[in-house]
Every structure is written in C-alpha cells, then in structure tokens.
Structure 1
C-alpha cells in the first residue's frame, strides 16, 4: 500500500486559516468533499492494455481524473485544454507531483490507440483509461460521477452532460477531497492545485 501524505488535511487547514482571517474570498474554487470520496480500487485498462486502478496505480501525490470521451465535440476538449493550461502555470516542482487520468465513457470507440492519440494532443504524460461500461460506471460513482445519467451514444457509451463534467482530485490515500466544474479557469486550477499540494 502506498504511504503518502493525504491532501484532505492540507485542504482543511487552508480553509480553516482562510476562515480565521475573516476573508470573504474563497480560498479555493473547487468544491470540497467532506468527508472525501473513497476511490474504488477496481482496475480498468490503460492505453497499453495493462490493468490500471485509480486507487492503486496512480503514482503522483495528486491525480486529476476526468471522465469523458474522445468524440465529445465541445465540453471535454475545453475542460482538458483548460486543465492543461492550469498545469502549465505550476512550478516544475509542483507539476512533478501531479498526474492526469482521462477515463473513457465510450470504450467501444475509444480504443487504446485512439485514447493515446487524443491525449497526446494535450500532454503525452496523461494516462488514458478504459473499461467496460458497468465497471467504468462503478468506479465513476465512487467519486461522485454518474456515467449512466449521461446521454447514450450510438456506440453504446455515454456522453456526459454539463453536470457531470467534473475534474476529480485524488490524493495519495486514495481519497477524493475536491472536484472542479467545467467553468473553472486555468488560473483557478493552478491556484487550487498549489493549495492542495501545500508546502510539499
């Protein structure tokens, strides 16, 4: 089992300090989950065909998880580009502590090579993950994303609507203490991620 500092405590401390300071401005833009979601360890499959669990196989201190599909015409690429721009605002030391996992909600279309090609347009370090829809839906539900509530695609997958296009923060304790909505800006992503990482 991995032994890394959790981020929920860092986030709680930051929010407490903000409250004590009397500021009306939110310390973070993302929505805090209290208690944090417990991320399911059920393995899916990466773009190389190897088992990949959002709980057991994420190596960074902070993993940012997005559920979407490569044929999404608007929201998915917008969120991914904004997130990428936010990550590019981090220091090198911060960026090294963060990884991104894109989980397909359309596995019939999003084969390993298709996912890899799509993610390479944003950042070649991003991990592409896919699995059968029932397994994907179960993993998604563990972090508060409900895949089956999306629009059913002709391929049999699901296109998530604006209420489900969240970026989920997963920490080293396999918990998800925060998520961001699609309206989050690159600067807000960068600020919140820095806050989550704290002084580490």
Structure 2
C-alpha cells in the first residue's frame, strides 16, 4: 500500500511539475469532485513570503481559514493568469457569507522582479479586494511552489527588458492541517470550483 501511494504521489508530482508558458489544459472529473484528490496530500512549506503591506506571510502560519485557495502566477501574464484569477473571484461571489468567512484566496507572484507589493496589490484588488497577494524572494517562491508540486522557472529575460515567466497553472487547496488535499486544473469553471469548495467545507 505504501509503495502504491508513493507511486501515485510521484506520478502526480511529475504531472503537476510540467512547466506551462501560460497555457490551458483539459480537465477530468474524478468521483464527485471536479478537482483531483491527493493521497497522501502535499505538505506546504512554512517559508514566509511578503504580503502587500510588507509583512511576512506564511502559507502555513498565516492561513487560519478552513480552506485557502492558492494560485501562482504573475501580473504581466498575457492570458491564463487573468482567466484563473477571474475564476477565483467568481467562485468567491458564488459562496454565501458563512462560506466566504471560511475561505481565503491567495495569489503568489512568480515574477517578483517586477511584481512588488504595490503592483501585486493593484492586481489582486482588480479581481476581488479580499484576495491576498504575495511576493518575496524568487528562491523562496520556488521552494514553496516545489512543496506544492508547482513548477516555477526563473524566467528568461527578453530584449524588451521583461521576462517570459514559466509556471504551473493549477489552483491548490490548503486545508487547516497546512496540507494540499486537492488541486484543480486551470480550466476549472467557477461553478465547478464553488461546488468543490462547498463539499470540502462541509466535510470539515
């Protein structure tokens, strides 16, 4: 049994670790959840990043809600990041007040060279003012992403002076035990995600 779980985890890590240059993928719907359950779940790194107020923020120490939805992206992303952020904002709008009190959404930039606190604040606020935006040292972001099987590349400098940033595009759920029990592909819909969030909250 342990060997089977290890093989499953290795397979999922390989799948999730695929780098995407802001492209969308397909989505299957196993069991009742649209998302993909993880057994065993990923253990989230406690390394702190920096929120839009300049304070330290850890995805383990500072996530005190029953469920935290986390997405890694960057503000200059031309397509998929905006799509996923809109999905997350729309999902929050579908939840009732009690559910919203139990859920946080966190955006982690993968392009801290350009995405400082002010830039991230403007970006997340445009989708929903309640979304928490994080930046920090790239090495720390890479480490945290790795713990959640999110591939984050250092990026390639372009002649324009910007960067082409490559990153995993999945949405991850962090539960009250600071683990990731389920993830969703980037093409999950607002209705699907809201359904799954409701299920996870009901399960406690």
- Taking structure 2 as the reference length, what is the TM-score of the superposition? 0.80
Q: 1:34 aligns with which of 9, 31, 39?
A: 39
2:83 is paired with a residue whose SS is: helix
Q: CA RMSD in A?
A: 1.9
Q: 2:81 aligns with which of 70, 76, 81?
A: 76
Between Structure 1 and Structure 2, how many residues are aligned? 174
Q: Which runs of 5+ in 2 are unaligned?
A: 1-28
Q: CA deviation at 1:26?
A: 2.7
- Residues 66 and 176 of structure 2 are in contact (CA less than 8 Å); yes or no, is this contact kept in structure 1? yes
For each residue in 1:83-122, what CA deviation from the matched residue of structure 2 results, as whole angstroms up to 9, or x when unmatched? 2112211121111100011001000110101000011111
Is structure 2 residue 181 aligned with structure 1 residue 181? no
1:147 is paired with a residue whose SS is: coil
Distance in 2 separating the partners of 1:136 and 1:156: 19
What aligned pairs does 1:16-31 form with structure 2 within 5 A after superposition? Answer: 26-31=31-36
Q: CA deviation at 1:157?
A: 5.9
Q: CA deviation at 1:151?
A: 5.1
- Residues 61 and 98 of structure 1 are in contact (CA less than 8 Å); yes or no, is this contact kept in structure 2? yes
Q: 1:109 aligns with which of 114, 117, 132?
A: 114
Per the alignment, residue 167 of structure 1 pairs with 171
Change (3 A) 1:92 1:153: farther
Q: CA deviation at 1:125?
A: 1.2
Is structure 2 residue 98 aligned with structure 1 residue 93? yes
Distance in 2 separating the partners of 1:175 and 1:199: 15
